[in-house]
Amino acid sequence: MSQHEQELECERAYVAGLYERLDAERGRVESRYSEALRGTGASAMERDVEVRAQHRELKRLGVADHGLCFGRLDSVDGEARYIGRIGLFDEDDDYRPMLLDWRAPAARPFYTATAASPEDMRRRRQLHTRGRQVTGFTDEVLGRPDGESDGDAALLAAVNAPRGEGMRDIVATIQAEQDRIIRLDHQGVLVIEGGPGTGKTVVALHRVAYLLYTQRERMERSGVLVVGPNPAFLNHIGRVLPSLGESDVVFATTGDLVPGLHVTAEDVPEVARLKGSRKALDVLRAAVAERQGVPEEPRHVELEDVTVRIDAATAEWARQEARDSGLPHNEARAVFTEIVTYVLTERAIGRIGKGWLTRENKEVWENLRADLLAELAEHTGFTEVLDDLWPVLTPQQLLADLYSSPERLRAVGEESLHRAEGAAWTVSDVPLLDELVDLLGEVKTTGTATDAEQAAEAEYAAGVMEILQTERHDLMDDEDHLLAQDLVRSEDLAERFVEHDTRDVAERAAADRDWTYRHVVVDEAQELSEMDWRVLMRRCPTRSFTVVGDLAQRRSAAGAHTWAGMLDRYVPGRWAYRELTVNYRTPAEIMEVAAALLADFAPEVTPPDSVRSCGVQPWHREVSECGMASAIEEFDRQEAAREGTSVVIGPRGVPGAVLPAETKGLEFDAVLVVEPARILAEGDRGVAELYVALTRATQRLGVVHAEPLPEVLSLLSS
């Protein structure tokens, strides 16, 4: 048996021992989980806490069935460290580490040591596995005098492998540039920018896994929000964090950020730009103010003994007092009602007691006032007048009424927002609806939770308050008082969560508009508008963000032109910028074509360097309009015979093609781009979308067109 075969057998034996240890630990946790479900000798609250804890541990152990151990580090002094998805310890040997979690500090050299800078390591070994079986290994000798390295084999094998249905984690092949970002010690907003294929999304997700590992207690209390551009993208990345053992995560698009709504429709660019700008705040405030009325003619209320009137002067006084209270619209209605009621009762008493009743008869006066107040409280006509002058409004009701009424839009100065169906929501409406929750205020209902039920979640509430209090000095309120609704009392927070609510953190957070997350990840962040950012800042008052994007790929008319323009308002001096420069996905042959387009519309941007070639030149083929369908069918047929994934990308109206925006953040082995000239016809937005389409392929790129091929794609072979 050769030395290589002997070492392979040793590695197989060691990994088999790790799986034995994993199975034993899983068996113990399953036993504790079953006991917790039975709840013998424990209160209901203690049982619920234990059930959740053991269930989380089961999920953590469950992710390690595949790829439990993927590497080994040998130090210069002979120590061997095995690296894997989770940490395992030998209970029979004073809890000696058998397997290091990839996030542990001692595992970091596995990603950062190089031939030139070995960090006291002499060898890095990549283990290749299938299921629980070690099939081989690749060694990289560190500390060579010439500084050369043969450590790219595992990386190239990973990037060249056929694509599956979802994004894969890169825990076994994290590169030094990526690792520095994943482990960066920065408490504010971290912006990660990188061109296509640089791995910025997967780096951001691994950073979340790292933060959850290093800040477990605080992060688990509030969970993490991951915001992506579309549902397909979220499905694509949705396996990464669970594969790393993390599940307290809410995935959402910007169209999902108001509970109960799932919006995907888009506005035309001009309307999206207006709704996404801070000018929309003035429109919303004007729309609310427009619903706070003053009667043109006096409104009469017929009481049992007298008829009283609400005139313009009375309503104007009441309106001003209500506005000056600083309360949201629905809550300020009480102030408006109080002033109007005071005037009406004064007038009624004056008429009823004319000639005989004075204020000196205090008891009679107050008794009569009490009778009048009771009558007004039950008076349908009075309520109808109040509803006309100061209606209770929901965000959906106010915005739908605004959009469908030319008169109301004229009153707020934005007639361009008119649409026949006011409630036909678009993604640009979601941040406006969220803003209106604060401007209008919620209609509070009487709760039924007991003191004991409120105490059941006191620990959770206290944890959130701890986050808010310890970092409150970092919060920067802007001129619009964005944070006025963020700093809730722990008693109010605890009321939302009672003992019988067995949902996990992610389920609770997704259903609660007022939930505040410990950390937020924003992918394709260049697409978010100023109003989108206001929503997200409300969701994370500690301002802990990982922001991922590429300004060169911006397609939204309301999106970011600079990161400072979006972030300085909220976190001046608290955001850091890191750039990824290496393209691991797009082969050099394809990136050369995309880079020519990039140089044409964004010459100031440097394209990322591709680490590999695929050996296949991207091509174009001119067809007749009648032959387009056949060309697409031929592509689909050829790719169906190959391993991997493929997609046809084209402008709206091409049968069998998806829009470029629907492929943002995704990757495929083969891509066929249809009618690039029609994509480009949409101006700046179209150029960005064509750039996205050209950079989705990992192996093969083709272009078919009936219209002339744009000159910028002249590098394509015929």
Check the annotation: does 198 bind a ligand: yes
Helices 279-290, 395-403: crossing angle, 10 deg rounding? 100
Whether the Cβ atoms of residue 612 and residue 711 lie closer than 8 Å to each other: no
Check the annotation: does 196 bind a ligand: yes
Whether the Cβ atoms of residue 718 and residue 620 lie closer than 8 Å to each other: yes
Check the annotation: does 200 bind a ligand: yes
Check the annotation: does 195 bind a ligand: yes
Query: For residue 425, what are its two tokens?
Result: 């929501």
Amino acid, res. 287? A
Q: What three-state secondary structure class fits 181?
A: helix
Query: For residue 558, what are its two tokens?
Result: 């309301």
Distances (CA, A) of 47 to 7, 30, 39, 500, 591: 47, 15, 5, 11, 56
Check the annotation: does 194 bind a ligand: yes
Structural element, H or E, at residue 575: strand 575-580
Query: For residue 604, what are its two tokens?
Result: 């100031």
Contacts of 135 (CB under 8 A, 6+ apart): 128, 129
Q: What three-state secondary structure class fits 671?
A: strand
Bridging pattern class, strands 519-522 and 668-674? unpaired
First-to-last C-alpha distance (Å) of the chain? 53
Amino acid, res. 286? A
Q: Positive or negative CA dihedral for 213, 214, 219, 223?
A: negative
Amino acid, res. 569? R
Query: Which DSSP category does 95 fall into?
Result: T
Tell me how far apart the alpha carbons of residues 461 and 141 are, in angstroms, rounded to a whole number: 51
Check the annotation: does 201 bind a ligand: yes
Tell me how far apart the alpha carbons of residues 556 and 558 are, in angstroms, rounded to a whole number: 5
Query: Which DSSP category does 246 fall into?
Result: -
> How many Cα atoms are found within 13 Å in the side-chain-facing hemisphere of 327?
15
Tell me how far apart the alpha carbons of residues 605 and 246 are, in angstroms, rounded to a whole number: 35
Render 451-497 in DSSP notation, one character per residue: HHHHHHTHHHHHHHHHHHHHTGGG----TT-GGGGT---HHHHHHT-
Query: Which DSSP category does 268 fall into?
Result: -
Radius of gyration of the chain, Cα coordinates, nearest whole angstrom: 31
659 CA to centre of own chain: 22
Tell me how far apart the alpha carbons of residues 402 and 354 are, in angstroms, rounded to a whole number: 46
Tell me how far apart the alpha carbons of residues 162 and 121 are, in angstroms, rounded to a whole number: 32
Query: For residue 311, what are its two tokens?
Result: 């005139």
Residues making up the binding site for ATP: 194-201
* Binding-site annotation: residue ranges: 194-201
